[in-house]
Structure 1
Amino acid sequence: MSTTQSDRLRELLEPLVAAQGLDLEEIEVAKAGRRRMLRIVVDSEEGVELDACAEVSRAISDKLDESDAMGDEEYVLEVSSPGADRPLTEHRHYVRATGRLARLQLNDGAELTARILVVDEDGLDLEVPGVKGRRPTARRVEFADVAKARVEVEFNRKDKNEKEEEA
């Protein structure tokens, strides 16, 4: 997809998605056999429920039908929320991941798995889990030092509410 088409689609769809109370995270056009696939990823502070995806999908479909942004070729529209192990690429992604475990690859090549405690404009305050019974340690990482970051899926993660009930 050309940058021009991507920019045009973003310009066309971002206000529509924002009107639904969602953030337009990603737009991808890919070839799927004889047709094209238009994948749109949306998110919000509270996450995205299935009904919200369906509603925004209908609104996007109507808007695309009114415009020539996708041209005359057939395409399939897919609207979804980011996966559980989504990459963290924007400041808001880190804010939404507060309290979650994340794997960070640093610019110096080091890799770090830690819980995000606080996010500010410059970086992250993390809690690095202790190894072999040791206590967790605090660590500060600046955004400028992060090459890649991704939320880790936790199957035994306790919610904030569960921790408060135990206390």
Structure 2
Amino acid sequence: MSKRETYEAKTEELLLPIAEENGVEIYDVEYVKEGSDWYLRAYIDKPDGVNIGDCEAVSRALSDKLDEADFIEDAYILEVSSPGLGRTLKKDKHLEKSLGEEVEIRLYKPVDKCREFTGVLKSYDADSITIDTAEKEMTFARKEIALIRLALDF
């Protein structure tokens, strides 16, 4: 397990009871470097959406637990937020909740001279994701997908 994966897993362990106490679920945890800064991001959600008070309560409690555990070597910035409307679908649980929803898929390499596709998420398995576009049903290998997220309609 990489340092990043270890930090994310340990943070999620610390976050689980905090999320339960605050009536939210953990959507994702990520530890990333942007520029010269490291960020530890916890995304939380609940059926009717999270608000600033939810984020603040979880952030304060998580910050205290992280200070106690003190397992992250680098200086980092802690952020707690909603995954947003155009949320990235990283895990199978995200895909499961999004079946029947419109998604955007961005590929590493073009297919038919196109790298981005939009359609309704029809199915997924360990190796592939299938969407229904306006024209046809399309299946993509997961290893070909750079990003999949909920589509935003305005």
Which of 57, 60, 64 aligns to 1:58? It is 60
After TM superposition, the structure 1 = structure 2 runs for residues 60-99 of structure 1, keeping only pairs within 5 Å, are: 60-70=62-72, 75-99=76-100
Describe the superposition over 1:74-120 as per-residue Cα deviations: whole angstroms up to 9, x where unpaired. 6542101113222222112123333432122468843431123x446
Q: Does 1:153 align with 2:152?
A: yes
Say how many residue pairs are matched. 145
Mark the CA change 1:18 to 1:121 in structure 2 (over 3 Å): closer, same or farther: farther
RMSD: 3.7
TM-score by length of 2: 0.64
Mark the CA change 1:120 to 1:46 in structure 2 (over 3 Å): closer, same or farther: farther
TM-score by length of 1: 0.61
1:83 partner SS: coil
1:93 partner SS: helix
Question: Which segment drifts farther, 20-29 or 84-93?
Answer: 20-29
What residue ranges of structure 2 are gaps of 5+ in the alignment? none
Q: Which structure has the larger Rg over C-alpha atoms?
A: 1
Q: Does 1:9 align with 2:11?
A: yes
Describe the superposition over 1:101-140 as per-residue Cα deviations: whole angstroms up to 9, x where unpaired. 2122468843431123x4465666643225xxxxxx5x26
User: Which amino acid is the alignment partner of residue 134 of structure 2?
Assistant: P
Mark the CA change 1:46 to 1:121 in structure 2 (over 3 Å): closer, same or farther: farther
What residue ranges of structure 1 are gaps of 5+ in the alignment? 131-136, 156-167
User: Which amino acid is the alignment partner of residue 153 of structure 1?
Assistant: L
Which structure shows the bigger proportion of residues in strand conformation? 2
2:87 partner SS: coil
